[in-house]
Structure 1
Amino acid sequence: MRPTEPVGIVTAGLWLPEGRSLASEAVASGRLRRSDARALGHESVPDAGAVAPPDAAVLAARGVMDAAGLTGDGLDVLAHAWMYHQGHDLWSPAHYVARRLDALRALPIGIQQVCNGGAAAMGLVMAWLASSAPDASARPRLGLVTTGDRFAEPGFDRWASDFGVAYGDAGTAVLLRRPAADDDVLLLRSIAMVADPLLEEMHRGADPFSQVARGHRDRVDMRATKRAYLRTHGVLPFTSSNRRAIRTIVSQALADGGMDGRDPRLTHVVLPRFGAKTLAEAWIPVLAEQVGGAHLLDLGRETGHLGAGDALAGLAELVARGLPAPGSSALVFSAGAGFTWSCLLVESPAR
């Protein structure tokens, strides 16, 4: 999926709380095996404490809007994505984020696509901006994408609710503009997404449909549902689909941007924020075959997996580090339950 003209990334931001959850404490309490802690490769991950997930998104968004010198009343569309509980049972966190930002004329949209939510929201807003009729005043169209997640106990154990992933709390925000302006930090060239709905069972397992949240267990337990899936299907369907999906989104994103994996303009690849062993076994070997000349950036050692926010956090870190160099490009990855895989191709405009 590519816009007919590049959509500008005005700027991107990542809000992280000061609190930290320590792997050593999870091991000491018996929640996490020492071998699993080594495989994850995180000494600690951010813990938001009392900060609600939508407020984390607002904090990230305010930083982005302030950096751009813009206010909420200039936004045309706002998409908020999340993975886990936002603080109320039946409620729209996207509208809350819009209200807190005074974005009262923007269209708020909620995206609940689990860990791939941020990338899906980027795709939706990119398409919305690319297809919108020009404003009568000829002003640019502005879209904001946010994510916010907090993996709080007792309903979620950030260290032991899943295999190969530790979950960190964060808020992220990316401001998009069409048409792109000369001072936009990056250009969004394309977004490739592919899904394999046959794998939805990995997060459903053998459990019947319940009538209330956490009706089967006191906390979210993706390990239990994945074990049930593996007992029935084995590991091959997922590993094969994962390799195929990564290859597909890389090829598609680059082709839509007029590039291939050997293009010297492709200098950086931002990995999803999964555990070290998961990346080493399931991601890095596949990417090395396709984009071996680019630098692989594993930016999740200090944060863990940020729920719906991995892709947006990757963009924020590229901006903060001044990457890639002008005239060069980067791929940013995301993946989530369902399963859906995403790849964003961004370019640093030559000044």
Structure 2
Amino acid sequence: MRPTEPVGIVTAGMWLPEGRSRASDAVAAGRLRKRDAAALGHESVPDAEEVAPPDAAVLAARGVLDAAGLEADRLDVLAHAWMYYQGHDLWSPAHYVARSLDALRALPVGIQQVCNGGAAAMGLVMAWLASSDPAPSARSRLGLVTTGDRFAAPGFDRWAGDYGVAYGDAGTAVLLRRPAADGDVLLLRSVATVADPLLEEMHRGTDPFSPVARGHRDQVDMRATKRAYLRTHGTLPFTSSNRRAIRTVVAQALADGGMDGRDPRLTHVVLPRFGAKTLAESWIPVLAEQVGRAQLLDLGRETGHLGAGDAVAGLADLVARGLPAPGSSALVFSAGAGFTWSCLLVESPAR
């Protein structure tokens, strides 16, 4: 999916708490094996402790709006994405984020596409902005994407609730503008997304439907549902689909931007924030075949997987590092249960 004209990324940012959860503590408590900790490759991940996930999103959004010098009442649409519990049972966290920011003109939309939520929100807001065709004299239209997740005990074990992934707490935000304007740090050229619903069973397993949250177990246990899936189907359906999906979103994102993997303008690739072994076995070999000249950036060693926030966090890190160089481009990845894979193509405008 590509806009008819580039959508500007005014800026992007991330809020990380000061608290840290350490892998060594999880090992000492018997919740995580040493070899699994080594495979993850994270010494620690951010722990938000008492900060609620929507408040983490608000903190990230305020930083982005302040950096852009814009008031929240200029926003036309606000999409908030999340993976895990937001703090209330039946409630709209997107409207809370809008209210907390005083973004009272904006249309708040909640995006619940698990770990791919931030990338899905980017695509939807990009499409929403592109579908509005203001007159030449009208002001630009602004969209804000936020994510917020906190993987708190007792319902979630950030170190042992899943295979190959450790979960960190964060809020992220990115401000989009159409038409793009001078001063926008990046241009969003395309968003490519593919899904394989045949894999939804990996996060359902053989459990019957429950009338309440965590009705089967006291903690979220993605390992249990994945073991049940693997007993029935083995590893081949997922590994084949994962390779195929990565190749597809790379090719589609680049083609929509008028590029291919050999284009010298493609200089950086931002990996999803998964464990080191997962990236080394399932992502890096596939990407090396397609974008071998570009530098692969593993920016998640200090954060772990940020739930719905990986894609937006990747943009925030690019902005903070001044990457890519003017005139160059980068790919930013996200993937999540369902399964869904997304790839954003962004360009640093020539100054």
**Whole-angstrom distance in 2 between the partners of 1:219 and 1:212:** 13
Q: How does 1:277-296 map to 2 (within 5 A)?
A: 277-296=277-296
Kindly provide the amino acid, as one letter, of the partner of residue 199 in structure 2.
L
SS of 1:78's equivalent?
Answer: strand
Q: Which residue is equivalent to 1:56?
A: 56
Aligned: 1:23 with 2:18? no
> After superposition, what is the alpha-carbon deviation per residue over 1:216-236, rounded to whole angstroms, capped at 9, x for unaligned?
000000000000000000000
Q: Which residue is equivalent to 2:174?
A: 174
Aligned: 1:251 with 2:251? yes
User: TM-score, with normalisation over the residues of structure 1?
Assistant: 0.99
> After superposition, what is the alpha-carbon deviation per residue over 1:143-193, rounded to whole angstroms, capped at 9, x for unaligned?
000000000000000000000000000000000000000110000000000
**Whole-angstrom distance in 2 between the partners of 1:133 and 1:258:** 23
**Whole-angstrom distance in 2 between the partners of 1:147 and 1:219:** 22
Does structure 2 conserve the Cα–Cα contact (< 8 Å) formed by 1:135 and 1:141?
Answer: no
User: TM-score, with normalisation over the residues of structure 2?
Assistant: 0.99
**Whole-angstrom distance in 2 between the partners of 1:214 and 1:179:** 45
SS of 1:66's equivalent?
Answer: helix
Instruction: Label 1:99 to 1:225 Cα distance change in 2 as closer, same or farther (>3 A).
Output: same
- Cα offset for 1:213? 0.1
Kindly provide the amino acid, as one letter, of the partner of residue 5 in structure 1.
E
SS of 2:180's equivalent?
Answer: coil
**Whole-angstrom distance in 1 between the partners of 2:294 and 2:59:** 32
SS of 1:226's equivalent?
Answer: helix
- Cα offset for 1:332? 0.1
**Whole-angstrom distance in 2 between the partners of 1:343 and 1:220:** 28
Q: Which residue is equivalent to 1:314?
A: 314
Aligned: 1:302 with 2:302? yes
Q: Provide the aligned length of Structure 1 versus Structure 2.
A: 351
Alignment identity in percent?
Answer: 89
- Cα offset for 1:137? 5.7
Q: Which residue is equivalent to 1:261?
A: 261
**Whole-angstrom distance in 1 between the partners of 2:48 and 2:130:** 35
Q: Which residue is equivalent to 1:11?
A: 11
Q: How does 1:73-222 map to 2 (within 5 A)?
A: 73-134=73-134, 138-222=138-222
SS of 1:54's equivalent?
Answer: helix
- Cα offset for 1:346? 0.0
How well do the aligned residues superpose, as a CA RMSD in angstroms? 0.7
Q: Which residue is equivalent to 1:72?
A: 72
> After superposition, what is the alpha-carbon deviation per residue over 1:17-64, rounded to whole angstroms, capped at 9, x for unaligned?
000000000000000000000000000000000000000000000000
- Cα offset for 1:135? 6.0
**Whole-angstrom distance in 2 between the partners of 1:157 and 1:61:** 27
- Cα offset for 1:133? 2.9
**Whole-angstrom distance in 1 between the partners of 2:270 and 2:329:** 11
Q: How does 1:41-52 map to 2 (within 5 A)?
A: 41-52=41-52
**Whole-angstrom distance in 2 between the partners of 1:132 and 1:147:** 24
Q: Which residue is equivalent to 2:231?
A: 231
Q: Which residue is equivalent to 2:330?
A: 330
SS of 2:12's equivalent?
Answer: strand
Does structure 2 conserve the Cα–Cα contact (< 8 Å) formed by 1:79 and 1:108?
Answer: yes
Kindly provide the amino acid, as one letter, of the partner of residue 292 in structure 1.
G
Kindly provide the amino acid, as one letter, of the partner of residue 15 in structure 2.
W
Kindly provide the amino acid, as one letter, of the partner of residue 6 in structure 2.
P
Q: Which residue is equivalent to 1:39?
A: 39
